[in-house]
């Protein structure tokens, strides 16, 4: 009996010395930006699979990284709390969100020596455009969107940034760039409700309304909408996780979002319309065994209300700052809060983070503490593949953005038929650096009217269905799937 070939990454990017916490594709997938635990940023040229720019952005671990247009990159540092004797503590990191200018011309002025090269001279930094002093004690990255609906954030000169509040670990601050002004502080629910720290955020427009998604330390997921007055209405809340939520992402149509946590649960939640007035009955709701064995819904709610908050969260509790939301006097309030998820699955694999839905909405991926990258159907939440290459835990996963004119090989029937395609037995791949090797076999002689080798490389990088996984081993595996 023949065995299916085990999938291998198209390429492995080596250069980081410490674990990789954040990855993102920019510039129409020609570049992959990665950030590590030492604060280094590497901008990888995916046409040649080599570093194009390397610099140390922070003195501590990079918690999040994202592009802003084709010429800006945003990084945020993970704050470390150093505990000393006699009960005192000191923050040992710079606690900043930085916006860097990084154009193709800037790349030529920067170092290409990878962080792994300790003998390299000091690497210059790109130009810093903005710095926000923010709170990263929550181990939560940032979220971003344009300040106006129907505006492409890639070409917009302004940006909204959401981060955990500096003093209240359960609240969320929204800043405006380039003014660097804090526009509002959002309290999602009662201040006495013990949700723990904010762990994951998403900020986006749907139609004319601004939405905020938040995942908390106690496993609670919340979706809220801002009114024209500036106040926020909670439209949905549910605690599907028994452990902290590690990551979340919304579908391309902004009608649902997914959460993953330190437990083995992945949950699919609705994003209700603001004018929702009746309770919704989900089409499918698969409750894990541990929840079905509870003493009814009242027992579940009681268990959620009594969920413990970590000692770290308790130690960070401080005097609250005044709420900067605009009061909504005389305006009708949304009285119905949705509390039913679309679906909950128990994957039996704890510690899946870096959850990312591909831009076409067909599949999503998670990076696992068990070193495996898992790919799921976004529609059925069926596990399609387990990609195994790293020997230690993975912390981040990122999809390239598919072009609107591209045809995707996956479809609903393929999702169901590939339930057995576990342990990485997806489309056979030839091994590491296949992209480079294939290009090297192309003739350097270009006929009139034909694209040059460089142009073909750029086209291949832009159209590949890239999936990148960053690991504790300091390596990035790059897969071309589905």
Of 1, 9, 2, residue with least CA distance to 385: 9
56 membership: H or E segment, kind and range: strand 50-56
Is the pLDDT at 281 greater than 80, yes or no? Answer: no
Is the pLDDT at 311 greater than 50, yes or no? Answer: no
Cα(185)–Cα(146) distance, integer angstroms: 18
pLDDT reported for residue 300 = 38
**Residue 430: pLDDT band by 50, 70, 90 thresholds?**
very low
Q: What average pLDDT does the segment 143-147 reach?
A: 94
pLDDT reported for residue 280 = 45
Of 46, 98, 61, residue with least CA distance to 400: 46
Is the pLDDT at 69 greater than 70, yes or no? Answer: yes
Cα(158)–Cα(438) distance, integer angstroms: 41
pLDDT tens for residues 374-406? 999 999 999 999 999 999 999 999 999 987 434
Quote the distance between the C-alpha of residue 366 and its chain's center.
10
Half-sphere exposure of 170 (CA within 13 A, CB side): 24
pLDDT reported for residue 212 = 97
Is the pLDDT at 414 greater than 80, yes or no? Answer: no
Is the pLDDT at 429 greater than 60, yes or no? Answer: no
Q: What average pLDDT does the segment 310-324 reach?
A: 39
Percentage, residues of the chain above pLDDT 90: 58
Q: What ranges do the domains of the chain cover?
A: 135-234+266-340
**Contact present, 90 and 82 (Cβ < 8 Å):** yes
Is the pLDDT at 113 greater than 90, yes or no? Answer: yes
Is the pLDDT at 446 greater than 90, yes or no? Answer: no
pLDDT tens for residues 179-219? 999 999 999 987 778 889 999 999 999 988 999 999 999 99
pLDDT reported for residue 79 = 59
- Out of 116-125, 152-161, 338-347, least confident range: 152-161
pLDDT reported for residue 194 = 85
DSSP H helices in 66-165: 104-107
Better-scored residue on pLDDT, 47 or 289: 47
pLDDT reported for residue 424 = 42
pLDDT reported for residue 463 = 81
pLDDT tens for residues 15-32? 999 999 999 999 999 999
Q: What average pLDDT does the segment 345-364 reach?
A: 96
Cα(6)–Cα(295) distance, integer angstroms: 44
- Out of 56-65, 214-223, 234-243, 335-344, least confident range: 335-344
Cα(38)–Cα(50) distance, integer angstroms: 20
């Amino acid at each position: 009996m023949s065995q299916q070939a085990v999938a291998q990454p198209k390429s492995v990017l080596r250069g980081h010395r410490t674990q990789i916490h954040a990855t993102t594709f920019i510039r129409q997938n020609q570049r992959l930006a990665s950030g590590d635990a030492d604060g280094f940023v590497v901008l990888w040229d995916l046409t040649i699979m080599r570093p194009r720019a390397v610099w140390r952005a922070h003195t501590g671990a990079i918690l999040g990284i994202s592009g802003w247009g084709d010429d800006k990159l945003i990084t945020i540092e993970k704050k470390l709390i150093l505990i000393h004797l006699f009960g005192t503590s000191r923050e040992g990191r710079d606690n900043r969100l930085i916006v860097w200018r990084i154009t193709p011309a800037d790349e030529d002025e920067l170092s290409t020596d990878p962080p792994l090269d300790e003998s390299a001279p000091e690497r210059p930094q790109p130009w810093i455009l903005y710095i926000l002093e923010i709170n990263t004690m929550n181990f939560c990255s940032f979220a971003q969107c344009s300040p106006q609906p129907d505006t492409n954030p890639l070409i917009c000169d302004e940006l909204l940034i959401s981060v955990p509040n500096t003093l209240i670990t359960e609240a969320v601050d929204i800043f405006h760039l380039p003014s660097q002004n804090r526009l509002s502080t959002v309290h999602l629910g009662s201040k006495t409700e013990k949700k723990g720290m904010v762990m994951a955020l998403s900020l986006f427009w749907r139609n004319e309304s601004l939405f905020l998604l938040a995942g908390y330390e106690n496993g609670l997921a919340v979706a809220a909408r801002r009114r024209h007055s500036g106040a926020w209405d909670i439209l949905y809340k549910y605690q599907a996780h028994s452990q902290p939520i590690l990551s979340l992402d919304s579908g391309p149509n902004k009608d649902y979002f997914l959460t993953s946590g330190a437990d083995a649960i992945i949950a699919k939640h609705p994003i209700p319309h603001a004018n929702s007035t009746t309770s919704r009955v989900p089409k499918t709701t698969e409750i894990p065994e541990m929840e079905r064995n509870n003493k009814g819904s009242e027992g579940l709610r009681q268990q959620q209300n009594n969920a413990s908050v970590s000692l770290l969260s308790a130690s960070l509790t401080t005097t609250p700052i005044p709420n900067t939301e605009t009061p909504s006097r005389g305006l009708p309030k949304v009285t119905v809060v949705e509390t039913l998820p679309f679906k909950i699955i128990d994957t039996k694999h704890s510690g899946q983070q870096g959850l990312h839905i591909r831009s076409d909405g067909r599949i999503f991926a998670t990076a696992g503490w068990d070193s495996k990258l898992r790919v799921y159907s976004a529609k059925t939440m069926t596990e399609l593949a387990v990609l195994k290459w790293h020997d230690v835990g993975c912390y981040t996963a990122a999809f390239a953005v598919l072009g609107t004119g591209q045809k995707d090989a996956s479809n609903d029937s393929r999702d169901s038929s590939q339930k057995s395609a576990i342990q990485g037995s997806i489309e056979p791949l030839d091994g590491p650096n296949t992209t480079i090797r294939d290009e090297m076999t192309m003739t350097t002689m270009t006929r009139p009217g034909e694209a040059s080798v460089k142009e073909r490389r750029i086209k291949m990088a832009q159209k590949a269905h890239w999936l990148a996984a960053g690991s504790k081993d300091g390596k990035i595996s790059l897969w071309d799937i589905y």
